[in-house]
Structure 1
Amino acid sequence: MFFTEAKRILVVILGSILVAISLNFFLINANVFAIGFAGAAQLVSSILHDQLGFSISTGILLFLFNIPVIILGWFKVGRGFTIYSIISVVFTTIFLEILPVLQLSNDIILNAVFGGVFAGVGIGISLKLGASTGGMDIVAMVLSRLQDKPIGIYFLMMNGVIIVLAGVLYEPENALYTMAALYVTTTVIDMLHTRHEKVTAMIITHKAEELQQAIHQKMVRGITIIPAKGAYSKEEKSMLYLVITRYELYDLEKVITEVDPQAFTNIVQTVGIFGFFRREDEPAERSIT
């Protein structure tokens, strides 16, 4: 357990370094904006400096923006998830303050692409190990527990505002390059960790009852247990079928590894669902199939 948690913390810190490198080495001087709260902090910092002559760093603004969101996550999401968010935000702020703001290239396209790659890798590796980078991750987690509406619309709205302001306050080309950076970031995150709001897990196991109980101790999700038989071995098995949010994927993988390391699991994208999918305000009894 200690080594697992230490690994997650180290990965979160590494992700924070990569996000800071993305901003300080590529995006800030090019006036190309990042994704989510980092982009919002970067934009506000640029506006204050360029329009009002008031200087406050992106790192400090990122920290301030995350305070109310972290408080929300602490009460609505859970302490474990939020603690990793705090670690991520604190270390990102520190690295943004420590690392110099450089201009490695005068080519704005290179800045947009490489800035997007570094940010995508930093966010993606954190999400892959079930950690959070704060900001929109917590907002998305809260929304995923409260309603079944697509979370992507909230990301789109926030990033849309950043793109529009980049085009209005600077050159229209800045908005286009920001769109390119956002595309690269989300594509890299896709490669490392699913960005789909919900996924379906099909688990073939000999330990259906134990696994079902362990999953329900960790999360409240409906599970359908279906009899299965190995085509080659002719062994009688069971298949657990459940739909989860992408933020629960790491916890599910951890439970399966602990209970039945020999289980075969297939994770597929869930484009949409009809019928009941438990929200945070619904009684838990209804969710158990």
Structure 2
Amino acid sequence: MVLLQLKKSIVVIFGAFLNAIALNLFLIPADVYASGFTGISQLISRTLEEYTPFYISTGIVLLLLNIPVAIIGWKKIGKSFTLYSFLSVAATTFFLSILPIYKLSDDIILNAVFGGVIIAVGVGFTLKWGASTGGLDIVAMLLSRMKDKPVGTYFFILNSVIILTAGLLYGWEKALYTLVTLYVSTRIIDAIHTRHEKLTAMIVTKKADELKKAINEKLVRGITMVPAKGAFTNDSKDLMIIVITRYELFDLEQVLKAVDPHAFTNIIETAGIFGFFRKEQ
């Protein structure tokens, strides 16, 4: 468990380092904006610098925005997810402060594309290891729980606000290049992680009771149990069906490895669901 936590922390910190590289070497010098809280932090930092006598760096703004979100997430989502998310934010702030803002290219397209690719690699691997880059991930998950709507809806709304604000303040050309960055980063994250917000796990196991208890301790999800039998062995088994969000896939994998590594698990992309999704405490 300690080794797993160490590996997860290293992945999160490395993802934060990639985020800082994408921002300081590509996006910030070109006035192209990232998605989520990072993009909002860029906008706030630049607006303060241009329209007020004050200046706060993007990294510090990002940290300040995430503090109240992390407190709410700690209470409502889960300590582990929120802790690693805040570690990602803190590490990003640190790397942004030590890496110089340097323009590698004057070509805004190259900056938008390479910035989007690098930041997406960092975010994608962070998500794959069951953490997040904080900010919008936590806000979107909280709103999704309250309204039971796809997390992607809230990502789209906030990113639309970023694009519109960038267009109104600094010209629509910058907003269009921001769209390029958002598109590239979304495609890369989809390739590394998964583009579906909800997934269905079908687990065939002989340890249904142990798995059920372990899953319920880790995830707040309902589980459907169906009796099953092996076609060749005639062994009696159970089929467990559970719908999860993509953020919970890593935790489910760890539970399966710990309780029943021989369980056969099929992960299915879920296009939509009807009925009650989340089982609240």
- The within-5 A match list for 1:246-265 is 246-265=246-265
Aligned residue for 1:270?
270
Aligned residue for 1:287?
none
**What stretches of structure 2 of length at least 5 have no aligned partner?**
none
User: Which stretch has the larger CA shift, 2-11 or 195-204?
Assistant: 195-204
- Equivalent residue pairs, number: 281
Quote how far apart the aligned CAs of 1:73 are.
1.0
CA RMSD for the aligned pairs? 1.6
Amino acid corresponding to residue 225 of structure 1 in structure 2: M
Quote how far apart the aligned CAs of 1:234 are.
4.7
Aligned residue for 1:25?
25
Amino acid corresponding to residue 278 of structure 1 in structure 2: R
Query: C-alpha offsets along residues 45-103 of structure 1, whole Å, 9 cap, x if unaligned?
Result: 12222333542211111111111111111221222222112211111001001000011
Aligned residue for 1:34?
34
Aligned residue for 2:75?
75
Quote how far apart the aligned CAs of 1:236 are.
3.8
Quote how far apart the aligned CAs of 1:279 are.
4.9
Quote how far apart the aligned CAs of 1:119 are.
0.9
Aligned residue for 1:93?
93
Aligned residue for 2:224?
224
- The within-5 A match list for 1:57-206 is 57-206=57-206
Structure 1 Cα separation of the partners of residues 144 and 233 of structure 2: 40
Counterpart contact for 2:220–2:279, Cα < 8 Å: no
Counterpart contact for 1:147–1:279, Cα < 8 Å: no
Secondary structure of the equivalent of 2:134? coil
TM-score, scaled relative to structure 2: 0.94
- The within-5 A match list for 1:227-238 is 227-238=227-238
Structure 2 Cα separation of the partners of residues 141 and 262 of structure 1: 31
Counterpart contact for 1:126–1:132, Cα < 8 Å: yes
**What stretches of structure 1 of length at least 5 have no aligned partner?**
285-289
Secondary structure of the equivalent of 2:188? helix
Counterpart contact for 1:145–1:279, Cα < 8 Å: no
User: Which stretch has the larger CA shift, 203-212 or 48-57?
Assistant: 48-57
User: Which stretch has the larger CA shift, 78-87 or 171-180?
Assistant: 78-87
User: Which stretch has the larger CA shift, 3-12 or 144-153?
Assistant: 144-153
Over the matched positions of the two proteins, sequence identity in percent amounts to 60
